[in-house]
Amino acid sequence: MIDCTLIAVYPLIPEHKKLIVELSKDIQIAAALAPKIKSFEPNTPCLAMFSEDKMWYRAMIRSYNPDENTVDVVFVDFFNAEWVPAKRVRVCPSDLIKVPLRNLPVKLAGLKPNPRWRVSDIQRKFSELVVDRQIFIKIVDYEGEIPLVELYEDGYADDLLYESLLTERFYLRN
């Protein structure tokens, strides 16, 4: 979950899964061969090592701290960010930039977070509903390039997956 209504989804399409497995292998190989980045300009695509699993991922530079020699990157396939030592940032080959994102950003349609709840509480409750579940997504509109979606437990689109969060007033309808 990126914020209370903007989420990242992973399509359960066999072709997509195969593409992502190959992408991960290609990124590890490319990172071993790619030169370190010398200029840390914002919005520069790169490969960066994620601290938790020590794997390389596609990223985008947000800023550079010369005093600590660290780079603030967002991992573009997962939408998370962290400060990474500059030595753990590499040039991203152009062929890896062209591969589609692993996760796709979507926004929950017609909802806004209830300002009476802390963002962390809303995110926790939402995560409890969706973690490790197969979810059906219905695109109802677009906000720029971001699909506005409704989430369902089944393909019949009967009951919203997050109806309980509306009942409990974690979310409000726009």
Report pLDDT digits (tens) over 10-44. Answer: 887 888 888 889 999 999 999 999 999 989 999 99
User: CB of 9 within 8 A of CB of 106?
Assistant: yes
Q: What are the extents of the domains in the chain?
A: 14-32+40-97, 109-173
User: CB of 34 within 8 A of CB of 43?
Assistant: no
Distance, C-alpha 81 to centroid of its chain: 10
Dump strand ranges (E) for the chain: 6-9, 45-49, 56-65, 70-75, 80-85, 89-91, 104-108, 111-113, 136-143, 146-152, 171-173
- pLDDT score of 153: 87
Residue numbers of the chain with a pLDDT score lower than 50: none
User: CB of 78 within 8 A of CB of 103?
Assistant: yes
User: CB of 135 within 8 A of CB of 151?
Assistant: yes
Q: CB-hemisphere CA count at 13 Å for 120?
A: 0
- 3.30.390.30, 2.40.40.20, 1.10.1060.10, 2.30.30.140: CATH of 14-32+40-97: 2.30.30.140
β-partners of residue 136 are 152
Which amino acid would we find at residue 10? Y
- pLDDT score of 150: 94
- pLDDT score of 2: 57
- pLDDT score of 33: 96
- pLDDT score of 172: 95
- The model's pTM: 0.69
Instruction: Tell me how far apart the alpha carbons of residues 114 and 129 are, in angstroms, rounded to a whole number.
Output: 17
Dump strand ranges (E) for 40-135: 45-49, 56-65, 70-75, 80-85, 89-91, 104-108, 111-113
Q: Which of 82, 109, 101 is nearest to 171 (CA)?
A: 109
The pLDDT tens digits of the residues spanning 84-96 come to: 999 999 999 999 9
